[in-house]
């Protein structure tokens, strides 16, 4: 942002201070002043959000999320191109040994702070056909990472799905129980580590042994998971990101038998 006019840079610095102080009136006033300069405030806001999440600046992330809301940025765009983009940045640093687990956790807290503000603005798509569908979602046993799972849950919920969130470190048997209890349309599993990938085929096998595999769809995802792996273990799909997961499932439910037929 060094190439921005000095006037704009000063307003951005003032917005940072207002966000850190949780001064909502000042945020509104400064947002209007920034809009009056004629710069692309949405682009600036999304870039700021990504950098703030990466740096784990929770208060400022919430403040700039308020900016995004005020200027009318689509909440899904704010989530994907701002908040989630910041997690991708810190995730890349982690993979390259430039960041560590505590920094990942601090960044995720910042992202969740912004997501909490966006949630009321993520209106359900009443025409999606997914309103009554239930998805049992969780991170498999042995893995406590839930950032990707939570992103998928957020977008599925926003698209009308009823999500039963089992959390992280979820035993295979719990997925089966929850699927049966809720007459689920889909089970969604995630993992970040190769060491816990083997939990996924265990869940699929248990679904088969219980005679309920054909009653639901199975989605698997996470850093080490590929479409080839998903096919090998008998899952239906491995979307490459949270938005793709929601999009795929919205389409899949249209061709899937109704709950009353599947679970009769």
Q: Is 158 a member of any domain?
A: yes
150 with 194, same domain: the answer is yes
CB 15 within 8 A of CB 67: yes
Bigger pLDDT: 190 vs 157: 190
Predicted local distance difference test score (pLDDT) of residue 203 = 97
Q: Is 126 a member of any domain?
A: no
109 with 136, same domain: the answer is no
119, 143, 176 - which closes a domain: 119
On the question of pLDDT at 254 being above 90, the answer is no
Q: Is 108 a member of any domain?
A: yes
Predicted local distance difference test score (pLDDT) of residue 152 = 87
25 with 110, same domain: the answer is yes
On the question of pLDDT at 3 being above 90, the answer is no
Q: Is 49 a member of any domain?
A: yes
Which among 255, 217, 230, 241 is positioned nearest to 155, based on CA atoms?
241
153 with 227, same domain: the answer is yes
Predicted local distance difference test score (pLDDT) of residue 131 = 53
pLDDT tens-digit series, residues 208-241:
999 999 999 999 999 899 999 999 999 999 998 8
Q: Is 163 a member of any domain?
A: yes
109 with 48, same domain: the answer is yes
> Cα(262)–Cα(264) distance, rounded to whole angstroms?
6
Tokens linked to 76: 């899904």
11 with 51, same domain: the answer is yes
Owning domain of residue 87: 4-119
Q: What is the CATH number of the domain that holds 255?
A: 3.40.50.280
Tokens linked to 173: 């048997």
103 with 187, same domain: the answer is no
**Mean pLDDT, the chain, integer:** 89
pLDDT tens-digit series, residues 112-153:
889 889 888 876 555 555 556 899 999 999 998 888 888 888
Residue 136: beta bridge partners? 164, 187
237 with 196, same domain: the answer is yes
Identify the top-confidence range among 19-23, 147-151, 184-188.
184-188
Q: How many domains, in total, are found in the chain?
A: 2
- H or E element that contains 217: strand 217-221
Percent of the chain at pLDDT exceeding 90: 59
152 with 103, same domain: the answer is no
Bigger pLDDT: 172 vs 159: 172
CB 156 within 8 A of CB 185: no
CB 177 within 8 A of CB 95: no
- H or E element that contains 164: strand 162-165
Predicted local distance difference test score (pLDDT) of residue 127 = 53
Give Cα separations from 125 to 79, 155, 235 (angstroms): 17, 11, 26
Q: Is 147 a member of any domain?
A: yes
pLDDT tens-digit series, residues 53-79:
999 999 999 999 999 999 999 988 898
Predicted local distance difference test score (pLDDT) of residue 130 = 52
Predicted local distance difference test score (pLDDT) of residue 123 = 65
């Amino acid at each position: 942002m060094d190439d921005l006019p000095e006037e704009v840079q000063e307003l951005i610095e003032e917005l940072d201070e207002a966000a850190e102080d949780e001064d909502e009136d000042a945020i509104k006033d400064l947002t209007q002043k920034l809009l009056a300069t004629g710069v692309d405030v949405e682009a600036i806001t999304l870039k700021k959000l990504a950098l703030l999440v990466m740096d784990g600046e929770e208060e400022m992330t919430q403040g700039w999320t308020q900016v995004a809301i005020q200027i009318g940025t689509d909440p899904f765009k704010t989530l994907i191109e701002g908040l989630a983009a910041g997690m991708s940045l810190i995730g890349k640093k982690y993979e390259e040994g430039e960041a560590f687990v505590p920094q990942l956790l601090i960044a995720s807290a910042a992202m969740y702070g912004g997501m909490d503000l966006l949630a009321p603005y993520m209106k359900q798509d009443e025409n999606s056909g997914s309103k009554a569908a239930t998805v049992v979602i969780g991170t498999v046993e042995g893995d406590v990472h839930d950032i990707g799972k939570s992103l998928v849950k957020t977008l599925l919920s926003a698209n009308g799905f009823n999500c039963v969130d089992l959390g992280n470190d979820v035993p295979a048997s719990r997925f089966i129980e929850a699927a049966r209890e809720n007459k689920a349309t889909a089970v969604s599993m995630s993992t970040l580590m190769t060491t816990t990938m083997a939990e996924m085929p265990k869940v699929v096998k248990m679904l088969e042994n219980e005679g309920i595999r054909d009653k639901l769809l199975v989605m698997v995802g996470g850093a080490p998971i590929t479409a080839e792996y998903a096919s090998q273990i008998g899952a239906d799909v491995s979307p490459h990101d949270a938005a793709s997961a929601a999009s795929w499932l919205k389409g899949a439910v249209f061709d899937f038998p109704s709950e009353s037929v599947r679970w009769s």
